Amino acid sequence: MSEEFSRKLAEMFGITSTNNEKWFAEFLKQFEISTERTKKMWEAAASDATNRTITTTVPGDPKREYKTHIGIDGDITNEFPSTVPDDNDVYWRHHKQMIDEAMATRKEIILRIIDVSGNTIRGMINPISISPVDLAKLIESFRKA
């Protein structure tokens, strides 16, 4: 976090005493740690929600391999060994189960991203619903400590 940003926040809240400066420095440190964790969470979620390939290989028959590509836009492309597998094929049924699980997981990830995004934005826009009097008391308490 830039020194200029930290200085402006300190000025905004009237932080002048050594104790407040220490508290504020710790607050900024924790804010940076939280921001970094959030960034890593977003990167992991984006990685899981983008393109994915599911492969099932029949043991002892490497030519019999089922592949399914799931695109970021939800398009699904299947690759079969030579013919479309029979619905009774145990490996094909297992492969379809894995596809269903991957799609359900992807849906949950996307819904979670939307939920976290909304909560984060709401928290940034309106972090605490307080009256102007409460805000003035909060600033005054910073100045006294």
User: For the segment 115-143, what is each residue's pLDDT rounded down to a tens digit?
Assistant: 777 766 665 555 555 556 666 666 666 66
Number of domains in the chain: 2
Tokens in use for 45?
A: 């979620």
Q: What region, left, alpha or beta, does residue 74 occupy, with left being phi > 0 and alpha being psi -120 to 50 degrees?
A: left
Residue 57 to residue 97: CA distance in whole angstroms:
14
pLDDT digits (tens, 9 = 90+) for 62-114: 788 889 998 877 788 888 887 778 888 899 899 999 999 988 888 887 787 77
Do 63 and 70 touch, CB atoms closer than 8 A? no
- Give the predicted TM-score (pTM) of the model: 0.51
CB atoms within 10 A of CB 1: 11
103 and 142 co-located in one domain: yes
What residue numbers bound the domain in which 72 lies?
50-145
Q: Which two tokens stand for residue 81?
A: 């060994």
In this structure, the answer to whether residues 25 and 90 fall within a common structural domain is no
Alpha-carbon distance values, 59 to 17, 65, 76, 102, 131 (Å): 71, 9, 24, 22, 67
- Residue (of 93, 102, 104) closest to 54 by Cα position: 102
Q: Are residues 80 and 120 in the same domain?
A: yes
